[in-house]
Chain A
Amino acid sequence: MSLTYEDVVSKYEPVLGLEVHVELNTNSKMFCGCSTTFGAEPNTQTCPVCLALPGALPVVNEKAIESTIKIGLALNCSIAPFSRFARKNYFYPDMPKNFQISQYDEPICVNGYVDVEIETDEGPKKFRVEVERVHMEEDTGKSLHVGGATGRIHGAEYSLLDYNRAGIPLVEIVTKIVPGTGKYAPEVAKAYVAELRDILRSLGVSDVKMEQGSLRCDANVSLRLIGAEKLGTRSETKNVNSLRSVERAVRGEMIRHAELLNKGERVVQETRHFQEESGLTRSGRSKEQAEDYRYFPEPDLVPVEPDAAWIEELRAQLPERPSVHRKRLQEEWSVPDKEMAAMINADLLDTVEATVILGSDPTKARSWWLGEISRIANEQNVSVKELAITPTDVAEIVALVAKGELTDKLARQVVEGVIAGEGKPAAVIAARGIKVVNDDSALMAAIEKACAEQPETADKVRNGHLPAAGALIGAIMKETKGQADAARVRELLLSFLGQA
């Protein structure tokens, strides 16, 4: 009796709320000097402060404040002239102090918005997602529960704790409730997270890798009957680790809620965990009884009071908004929508742009990255960005082709060589002995040889049957090991046979 999505949206209006946690890419942790490098040996990036040894004190990482202000500005927020850190008190073994330093009622950035555009039945439509707050906090350590069936602490035989992540700077971006998206709620949620990711990447403040957890999304969903004022009970889905999952999680929760409501049951206020394989969520911690975190201002830290001139300086340094930037590039490069979308989906827009900035023709740059190079990446089952070829290399290769020093075919060999780790393009060319044969006398010798070997074909051409030239050109190219410029070969051949 499972409901269809159409049934759900014809009866209920979804209301969204999105909380995104972003790990900042500062070199050191939020409150101590420990390194933040991902993937180090467990518990090697710790000190008295992030292990919460008795007596140790936190000191705020200035760079993290700068990054957070940049984020706030990019999301059109006001930056609070006075904000404070607070302690969020609760016990958990992976939280060394048994309180988390966070911001509570005095966050650093408030009241912003992000506009997203999605495809609707009536064409592209803009939705405004309002941002309630952007605040700073520290990450917890990581627990690994060993021996249980669920991988959770209950039932585990023992647990391992890694405090390398404890104290990594986190920024939490919380939207206001987002009503009015109707059946497009899943798409709006996805577009919002995608836009946020692009903005954060353009600011250079985070790696924004959802799969590594440097960008994590919690999706809050509730339903109310269409036309109703009162909000429904929400669920909070965690562990949504890709853009596609954001969309799936919202859609799945909408259907789950509607099924409950249609049966006359109530939705339980709780956290739910998204399961990538099934696309379903499973019940987590109940939030029916509000947890009492006993927040109070962190007495070990002084209030954050950013200088107004500094904020303006940061505002002036903001990069172009990614959506605006994309529109501008599309116009400048005169790229059709579909091609543009292909570049964005392949996550190669910045790579192509870098290549263009280095002097390459946009169409050529695009065709290399999305064509040959993507093909090789596919073959090797890696992402394009993992290949040993850079925008500089591609720009150089494009320039050599333009100057006639490489043919397209030779250029492909150079690309292959660079990717194979044989060095920069010049080194590959030298090592492989690749060069365009543009010495006419060498070509003439090959032409004469070909015509002597295929006299009948040569006669056909002499008599005006031009398609027959193909066989001769093929032989000449073979003779010159493909290093000749085919256009020039044809020109010389036809003139030799009196047809030019």
Chain B
Amino acid sequence: MIHSSASEMATALAKGEVTSVALTQLHLDRIASVDKDVHAFLHIDTEGALAQASAVDAKRAKGEKLSPLAGVPLALKDVLAQKGVPTTCGSKILEGWRPPYDSTVVANLKKNDIVILGKTNMDEFAMGSSTENSAYGPTHNPWDLSRIPGGSGGGSAASLAAFEAPLAIGTDTGGSIRQPAAVTGTVGVKPTYGGVSRYGLVAFSSSLDQAGPCARTVLDTALLHEAIAGHDPRDATSINAPVPQVVAAAKSGDVKGMKIGVVKELNGDGYQPGVRARFEESLELLAKAGAEIVEVSCPNFEYALAAYYLIAPSECSSNLARFDAMRYGLRVGDVDGASAEEVMNLTREVGFGREVKRRIILGTYALSSGYYDAYYGSAQKVRTLITQDFTSAFAKADVLVSPTCPTTAFKIGEKSNDPLAMYLNDIATIPVNMAGIGGMSLPSGLADEDGLPVGFQIMSPVMKDERMYSVGAALEAALLSKWGAPILSKAPALGGVA
């Protein structure tokens, strides 16, 4: 049962073939047996999950009308506030903090009776591409435990690939949903910025952060997308418009007559041969399914990474200022005679990890008087140019596509001391965040040279998220008939259990 898709589980629940309590217990058992190897979870809320599951079962027994995913378990990235449940963002500085409120995403999950199993591991404050920056130890890629599961949402992606959960929530600031999906052979979507509320999502970079759905199939991802999306008056940047019809698009998977634009700049040099081979193969399958493949150019994408590493650290330097030991979280050095300033300094010294400090320093510098125009100001101009590149590209194509990342999963520790090499992993995902558009990654196969999953990225214009689901579903169907079984069936067994 745990190897089924979320929609199959939902059907079984609806038919009474399984209860939510039983289904939840199966996943809790699976976590108990494999998570010591994978380390996808930071906190497992056994009691809360079973209570939620039993409430759904009771509602179903009474014949209440339930939402499509009611009773299906989910793994929640530890960056979203859940009332009463520890929320650490992978940081020591928030150790022990239990939010007194639910983020809007969590409130929407609860409203849809989706069972929250626990909180998943992540790079500290979502800063990283490997989950190695978690203060609580790295997460391991279920395809090869010596490799990274991507980041920052490595825990969420790994939980799906390890069959610890059929659904997960991630957040994506520069690729933190899509890159982990790519390297774990799962599906992840960064919705249009403003499509899902950020209220209760602990901010890394406010203008780039976006929560989104993760699953093992395009349809499951769409179902979860509709469950969490929608306007929220508590988030001023939330878009007040109907949620795109992504479930309908994922069900139809029709690409006939659609124009698919291949972004010239997001391919070629620096991309692993196996990644390029799978990308070309996917394009052929989409063409066969009736889409027209065109090439588009986005010349300003080459500056995207540099601009991103000014904007995101700038915003983070301000967003993370609130972690000062005054009202919640870690407090260090609060001894007789210590001033508030000393306590703040010491707590931040001890509480934040190296990458977080690096970015706070970078951002503080970029915003400083005298440097603002050269750094933050120029980066914002680049952002406008990238948005313009997308606008002209979308005039020629309905969606844009690229490999999700240049390589397959690298070894844990391989890039830990080379931040620039690490940053380059997000070169294809970052432009999407800069422009606030939607992006999806889905598996396009395994690289011949290392047998590891490769991701295919689909990008759609603002609030046209349904388009990436149409294309994703079409490609998924074509690949499935080619492979005969879902890609995760090729992953090695974990801890001696299948």
Question: Which residues of A line the B interface, CB within 8 A?
Answer: 48, 51-60, 87, 89, 91, 93, 96-99, 153, 159, 161, 290, 292, 294-296, 299-302
Whether B199 contacts A97 by the Cβ 8 Å rule is: no
Residues of A within 8 A of B101 (CB): 48, 53, 56
B202 in complex: contacting residue of A54, A60, A87, A97, CB < 8 Å: A54
> Could you give, for residues 155-187 of chain B, a 1 whenever the CB lies within 8 Å of some chain A CB and a 0 otherwise?
000000000000000000000000000000000
Majority DSSP secondary structure for residues of A touching B: loop
Residues of A within 8 A of B203 (CB): 55, 300
Residues of A within 8 A of B234 (CB): 57, 59
Whether B372 contacts A296 by the Cβ 8 Å rule is: yes
A301 in complex: contacting residue of B103, B198, B236, B317, CB < 8 Å: B236
Residues of B within 8 A of A48 (CB): 99-101
Subset of 24 A-B contacts with CB under 8 Å? A51-B327, A53-B327, A54-B97, A55-B80, A55-B87, A55-B202, A56-B101, A57-B198, A57-B199, A57-B234, A59-B233, A93-B324, A96-B326, A153-B339, A290-B369, A294-B367, A294-B369, A295-B367, A296-B372, A299-B205, A299-B207, A299-B315, A300-B203, A301-B236
B367 in complex: contacting residue of A56, A290, A296, A302, CB < 8 Å: A296
Closest A residue, CB atoms, query B201: A55
Whether A98 contacts B99 by the Cβ 8 Å rule is: no
Whether A300 contacts B206 by the Cβ 8 Å rule is: yes
What is the bound-complex CA distance between A87 and B339, given in angstroms?
Answer: 25
Minimal beta-carbon separation of B216 from chain A (angstroms): 28
Closest A residue, CB atoms, query B79: A55
Question: Which parts of B292-342 form the interface with A (CB within 8 Å)?
Answer: 314-315, 317-318, 321-324, 326-328, 339-341
Whether A52 contacts B237 by the Cβ 8 Å rule is: no
Closest 3 CB pairs of A and B: A98-B321, A294-B367, A299-B206
Residues of A within 8 A of B205 (CB): 299
Quick one: given A296-B372, A302-B236, are A55 and B324 in contact (CB under 8 Å)? no
Quick one: given A55-B103, A55-B201, A296-B367, are A91 and B236 in contact (CB under 8 Å)? no
Quick one: given A54-B89, A161-B326, A299-B206, are A89 and B344 in contact (CB under 8 Å)? no
B364 on the A face (CB < 8 A)? yes
A294 in complex: contacting residue of B99, B103, B235, B364, CB < 8 Å: B364
Minimal beta-carbon separation of B62 from chain A (angstroms): 34
Residues of A within 8 A of B151 (CB): none
Question: Which residues of B line the A interface, CB within 8 A?
Answer: 80-81, 87, 89, 94, 97, 99-101, 103, 198-203, 205-207, 233-237, 314-315, 317-318, 321-324, 326-328, 339-341, 344, 364, 367-369, 372, 376
Minimal beta-carbon separation of B104 from chain A (angstroms): 9
B100 in complex: contacting residue of A53, A97, A299, CB < 8 Å: A53
Whether B368 contacts A294 by the Cβ 8 Å rule is: yes
What is the bound-complex CA distance between A56 and B234, given in angstroms?
Answer: 9
Minimal beta-carbon separation of B224 from chain A (angstroms): 20
Residues of A within 8 A of B199 (CB): 55-57
Minimal beta-carbon separation of A386 from chain B (angstroms): 38
What is the bound-complex CA distance between A89 and B324, given in angstroms?
Answer: 13
What is the bound-complex CA distance between A52 and B205, given in angstroms?
Answer: 16
Closest A residue, CB atoms, query B348: A91
Most B CB within 10 A of own CB, among A57, A97, A99:
A57
Whether A294 contacts B340 by the Cβ 8 Å rule is: no
Residues of A within 8 A of B99 (CB): 48, 53-55
Closest A residue, CB atoms, query B89: A54
